[in-house]
Every structure is written in structure tokens, then in C-alpha cells.
Amino acid sequence: MAISGVLLLELALYAGCFCCGIVTAASVTIVQGNFGGRCMLYGQVNYTANLIGIHVASSSSLCYFVSAISVMVAVVCFSLSLYWLYSFCMEGELTRERVWINGIMVVCGAFLFFLLVTGCILKIGRDSLCNSLIQNVPNVTSCDQAQSKQWAAPLKGGKFYNSLRKAETAAWVNFFFWLFIGALLIFQRRQSSGSKMTAGGVSGPVGSLFGDPGVTAAETEPFFNRPARPQ
């Protein structure tokens, strides 16, 4: 049984994308749960009675969108990895038709777009929340410091910054992994096209002159063993 190094690298990248998707979705969900189901991306806070409260929260659908994209990427990566591993165990080798490569390239392009949007939402949304904390909470010069402050019950802001930063990092790593996957797919597509051209050979008289393997001895015999003309 054999497996190409390029495809093995692609499977490893799928595994990495699966892990990144799970980390992003779990981190955003945990933060949302700690804030009573409210989405704190682009959120605004207030400070009263030495407690940090929520002044304005974003729509919950924003966090649901980030989590849904991350989970979808994870599910697709897990399914692709499981399918190719199953094919390898059953058939002993991994070969893909050009239509499969084209299909995965379409999926790759869609995921790159949505992961880019997801990464930007996490980055800008977290920065917006941090700016609100720095402006409204005394003695807070960084978002990390706000984690040690008291939050109004039932809010739990002890690790919100670490979780959002982890989610953002995982989303960007996921994005760059899919960039590598796209490059590998382009390489495999060109390699497949080159092998088809080589296998096709050259047909016709030119192919006969250069030893076309598709030409038999019976076809070339009349050119070299013509019968003698009668005297």
C-alpha cells in the first residue's frame, strides 16, 4: 500500500483545520455562555458600583455565525479525512479524478472566504469590546486587565479575553491551512494534467516515426517489407 507525500500532507492539514474549527467554535460558545447567552463581539460595557456590566450587546446571530462556520469547516475536514482513510484501507492506494480535485477546490475557495470574514469579525469585534473596557473602566489600560475586575452577576468575565484571542488565532490558522490546501490542490491538478498529456503520446505518422507505443508491427510492416515488383 502506498500513499503520496502530497496527499499525506493534505490529510494532515485537514486534521489541523478540524482542530482549529473546534477550538474557535468552543471558545466563542464558552464566552457567550459566560455572558448569559449574549454575544460580546462589538459589545459595549458600563461601569457602576465598582462592577462591569453590559451596556450594549451584539446580536446573538453574530456569534452563531462564527460558530457555525467553524463547525461546518470541522465537519467537512473530518468527513474528507475519514473518506480518504477509508479508501486507502479498502483499496490500498489513493487516487482522485480531476472532477474530485475541482470540487474540493470550490469548497476550498468558499471556506477561504468565510474564514476570512470570521477572522475579521473576531479581530474587530474583540478590539471594539476592549476599547469600550479601556474607556469606561477605571485603571484598565488593556483588555487583559479587565479579566481580573469584578463583573455584575451573572456575568463571568474571568477569561473572556483569553478565549476570544484563542478563537481568533485558531480562525486565522485555519485560514492559512486552507491556503496551503488550495496550493496543494493546484499542484495536484497540474500534475494530473501533465501525466495525461504524457500518457496520451503523439498519434499519427509523427508518432510512428518516434516509436508510438500504440503502433503495432503489422501497421509498420508494409512500409519496410513491400513485395518486389515483377520483372
Domain check: are 189 and 212 in the same one?
no
193 membership: H or E segment, kind and range = helix 160-200
Domain check: are 185 and 75 in the same one?
yes
> Mapping DSSP to helix (H, G, I), strand (E, B) and coil, where does residue 102 land?
helix
Task: Find the Cα–Cα–Cα–Cα dihedral 17, 19, 21, 26, rounded to 10°.
Answer: -170
Domain check: are 190 and 221 in the same one?
no
pLDDT at position 173 is 97
Domain check: are 17 and 78 in the same one?
yes
Domain check: are 142 and 110 in the same one?
yes
pLDDT at position 13 is 92
Domain check: are 175 and 88 in the same one?
yes
Instruction: Count CB atoms within 10 A of the CB of residue 135.
Output: 11
Cα gap 84→197, rounded to integer Å: 26
pLDDT at position 208 is 39
Cell 460558530 belongs to: 67
pLDDT at position 205 is 44
pLDDT at position 25 is 96
pLDDT at position 171 is 96
Instruction: Count CB atoms within 10 A of the CB of residue 96.
Output: 16
Domain around 62: 5-200
pLDDT at position 2 is 45
Domain check: are 148 and 212 in the same one?
no
Q: Which regions in the chain score pLDDT beneath 70?
A: 1-4, 91-97, 192-231
Give the total number of structural domains in the chain.
2
Q: Which DSSP category does 139 fall into?
A: T
Domain check: are 74 and 113 in the same one?
yes
Cα gap 130→160, rounded to integer Å: 11
Domain check: are 220 and 126 in the same one?
no
Domain check: are 174 and 62 in the same one?
yes
Mutual angle of helices 160-200 and 98-136, in 10-degree steps: 160
Domain check: are 93 and 190 in the same one?
yes
Domain check: are 173 and 218 in the same one?
no
pTM: 0.78
